[in-house]
Amino acid sequence: MPDLENRIFDEIEFLDTKYNVGIHNLLAYVKHLKGQNEEALKSLREAEDLIQEEHGDQSGMRSLVTWGNYAWLYYHMGRLAEAQTYLDKVENTCKKFANPSSYRIDCPQMDCEEGWALLKCGGKNYKRAKACFEKALEVDPENPEFSTGYAIATYRLDGFTGATQMSKAFCLNTLKQAIRLNPEDAYIKALLALKLQDVGQEAEGEKYIEEALTNTSSQTYVLRYAAKFYRRKGSLDKAFQLLQEALKATPSSAFVHHQIGLCYRGQMIQIKKAANCKPRGQDRENVNRLVGLAIDEFQKTLTLRPTFELAYVSLANMYAEIGHYRKAEDTFQKALYMKIIDDCLLQEIHYQYGRFQEFHLKSEDKAIIHYLKGLKAENMSYTRKKLLNALEKLAKRRVHQNECVVESFSLLGLIHKLKGQVSEALVCYEEALRLADHLNTMF
């Protein structure tokens, strides 16, 4: 709850958008859950003021959600007369637009409001959010707000479900359309830059990042995404500089602390590569120092957001790097036992834990188990390719070393099958059958 509240406050203060009425409604709900009902009412009043300011001509229709929240909150406070007052407002507005239902209205603005609300409620709702904005755009395809919401929903859904080449191209188009209708929106430009980097168009993406950084709107959010862009590019000094600026504005941001930790990790990897993965002397001291700094940042991340699954993986990998295997194991287990609905995330956790088992604990059997668990999530993501490649390398190495040959050929058959290579799969399965009387039922 504290991290959610911090993120809400950050968005209200630093995300310069005309489309953040919903965040005040969400803050009201959080305040209610904390027993701070007067503070919740204050948040709803702020939402009302924002609606008047941004949507004067449509304020009645755009206030329906906020009025409904007023009625709900007053009801739970036992102030039934005030609850009824807001229910009457909802009813009168719906009747004004000739809706047969007293408390429902079907219009693109309400679809848009629902879309924003769903976007703020976690990855499992991104698909529904996208559908809401899509429905709104069918009525008004040139609406800047609908287009922005649709682009953000598409971008987040890509990250949540695992992007294919086709979905990446579609996401690029939605972001470019949103920028056409909102040419000064630096936040959308930063998202477009990251998506261009995803598809190998880093130079074009950097142009958008540079444009976004010259714009004062949403500067704190732009700094975060720009830092992520430069970190992935390998420009770690630039990324650090941007993250330090972001940290001054949002010292309680789990995202920023995690990104700083990833930058320290990136510097550590650079030293190891330069030393052919065998750092000695000063190089080893620098590696250990950077690992320690990364661990500190990942621990801060998890203090601020205990449900940040990938931060557990990041922390576990740093413990493993300096031989603290017990701590690494305990940290991985925390991630593995979390309730995860994101298939891509599940794949990444099993992939990273499999590598820990294979390369640090030298347990190939446990590594295979977790590579296979990751592959049970059938999302055609980049991590799925990594799982298949890791499993294939391990199986081929075992065949070459004449270890567990039957199982290894069976594994290779499965890998080819999952890749759609049917004839190659049959060859491997036949070889396994030739070497053993019974094929392991696992495959």
Tell me if 36 is assigned to some domain.
Answer: yes
Per-residue pLDDT tens for 7-33?
776 777 767 666 678 888 988 998 999
pLDDT at 104: 65
Find all residues with CB under 8 Å of 143, minimum gap 6, and list them.
108, 136, 137, 181
Specify the 3-state DSSP secondary structure of 120: coil
CA atoms within 13 A on the CB side of 282: 1
Domain assignment of residue 69, yes or no: yes
How far apart, in Å, are the Cα atoms of 190 and each of 151, 213, 257, 266, 436? Answer: 12, 9, 19, 22, 56
3-state secondary structure string across 377-389: CCCCCHHHHHHHH
Report yes or no on 387 lying in a domain: no
> What pLDDT is stored for residue 298 in this prediction?
99
**Quick check: is 17 in a domain?**
yes
75 to 61, 69, 82, 403, 420: CA distances (angstroms):
22, 10, 8, 69, 57
- For position 439, what pLDDT does the model report? 45
- Examine residue 408 and state whether it is found in any structural domain, yes or no: no
Provide the residue type at 336 as one letter: L
Measure CA 422 to chain center: 34
Structure tokens at 76: 């739970």
Within a domain: 63:
yes
Q: Of 395, 419, 423, nearest to 409 (Cα)?
A: 395
Residue 92 structural domain: 1-106
| Region class of 234: left (phi > 0), else alpha (psi between -120 and 50), else beta | left
Q: What is the CATH number of the domain that holds 6?
A: 1.25.40.10
Query: Is 80 within 8 Å of 65 (Cβ atoms)?
Result: no
Assigned domain for 99 exists: yes
Q: At 136, list the tokens.
A: 């709104």
Residue 63: alpha-carbon gap to chain centroid = 30
Query: Can you list the residues of the chain whose pLDDT is less than 70?
Result: 1-3, 9, 14, 16-19, 55-57, 98-104, 162-163, 437-443
pLDDT of amino acid 18 = 65
At residue 99, the pLDDT reads 58
Give me the DSSP letters along 294-322: HHHHHHHHHHH-TT-HHHHHHHHHHHHHT
Domain annotation covers residue 278: no
Q: Where are the alpha helices (DSSP H) in 162-201?
A: 165-181, 186-198
Look at the chain and report how many structural domains it folds into.
1
